Amino acid sequence: MNPIKVIAGACAFVFLMILISSTYVIQQGSSGIKLRLGRMVESSETKRAVVYNPGLHLKWPFIEQVRVFDTRLQTLDIQSSRIVTKEKKDVIVDYFVKWRIENLARYFTSTSGNQLKAETLLEQQLNTTLRAAFGRRTISDLVSNERDDVMLVLRNKAEAQAGELGIHVVDVRIKGIELPPNTSNAIYQRMRADMKKIANKHRADGQAEAASLRAQADAAVTVIMATANSDAQRVRAEGQQQAAEMVVKSFGKNRAFYTYFQSLQAYKNSFKSKQDVMVLDLNSAFFDYFKKPLEKG
C-alpha cells in the first residue's frame, strides 16, 4: 500500500475527529453551558457564564466540555409526608411541584448540574414551609377554605428559596390530605359527638317549640270552649225565657185548653209501651179527661 495514501487517510481521520469534537448540537427545550478545564466559560463583556441556546455551536476540542440541561417544565411528585397540625394531629399530605431551570449558571453552581440534588434541596425547603403552614391551621381549616391559601404560601415561599438554586417554581398543588387510621378514628368519634350534640339541641328546641305550640293550642281551645259554653247558656236561657213567656201567654189565653193539652201529652208519654203497668185510683185527677171531655168554648 502506498505510504502517502496511508498518511493522508490518517490525517483525514484525525481532522474529522477534531471537527466532530469541535461541534455540538443543543436540541429544542434545552440549554447548555461550556466548561473549560472544569470551569464555566464567561463572557468577556458581562463576566457572566455564557448560556447556549438550541442550535449548532463550536468548542475547543479536548479542553472544553459542554453540559446540556433540560429547561422545560419539570414535575416533582413528592411522596406522602406526615405533618402535624395545630391540633397536634397527624395528617398525610401528597403534593407536587412544577418547576423549571431559570438561571442555568446558578443552577450548575449550586447543584453541580445534578437534577436529583436540586429536587432533594427543593423538597426539603418545601417540607419545612409545609410543616410551618400546617402547624398554624386545624384539620377543618385545611380541608375547607384555607387549602388554597396554604398552596399560595407554599408557592411564594418555594419561589423565594428556589431562586438560590437557579430554579423557578411555577406552581405547588396539594393532591390530597388524609388522616392516619388512629387519627381518623378519633376525628370521626369527635365529629359524631359534635353531630350528636347538634342533633340533641335541635331535638330539644323542637320539643320546646312543640310544647309551646301545644300549650297555645290548649289555651285557645279552652277559651273557645268557654266562649261557646257561655254563648250556649246565654242562648238556652233566652230560649227558656221565650218559651216561658209563650207558655204564660198561652195559659193566659185559654187555661182549659192548656190543661187539656198537657194531659194529652202525659197520656201519650205514659202509654208509650204495652209492657208498662200503672196502678192508679180511678178517682185520680189523671183520668179526668177520660171521664169528662173538654167542654166546647
pLDDT, tens digit, 9 for 90 and up, residues 173-196: 888 777 776 666 766 777 788 888
Residues 192 and 117 in one domain: no
Both 25 and 119 in a single domain? Answer: no
61 with 90, same domain? no
Query: Domain span at residue 109?
Result: 74-179
Residue with cell 323542637: 206
Please report the beta strands in the chain, taking only residues with DSSP state E, as ranges in sequence order.
Answer: 23-26, 30-36, 39-40, 51-52, 55-58, 64-70, 74-84, 90-101, 167-178
pTM of the shown model: 0.52
**What total number of domains does the chain contain?**
4
Domain shared by 267 and 280, yes or no? yes
Residue 150 — very low, low, confident or very high, per pLDDT cuts 50/70/90?
A: confident
Distance, CA of 71 to CA of 101 (rounded, Å): 5
Are residues 85 and 102 part of one domain?
A: yes
CATH code for position 101:
3.30.479.30
For residue range 241-293, what is the model confidence (pLDDT) as tens digits? 888 788 777 776 777 777 777 777 777 777 766 676 767 666 666 666 666 66
Torsion of CA 273, 279, 283, 288, to 10 degrees: -10
**Residues 124 and 84 both lie in one domain:** yes
Residues 235 and 285 in one domain: no
The three cell numbers locating residue 200: 340533641
Higher pLDDT pick, 288 / 78: 78
Q: Output the pLDDT for position 292.
A: 65
Q: Which residue has the cell 461550556?
A: 34
Q: Are residues 198 and 244 in the same domain?
A: yes
CA angle 264, 270, 275 (to 5 degrees): 145
Q: Is residue 296 part of a domain?
A: no
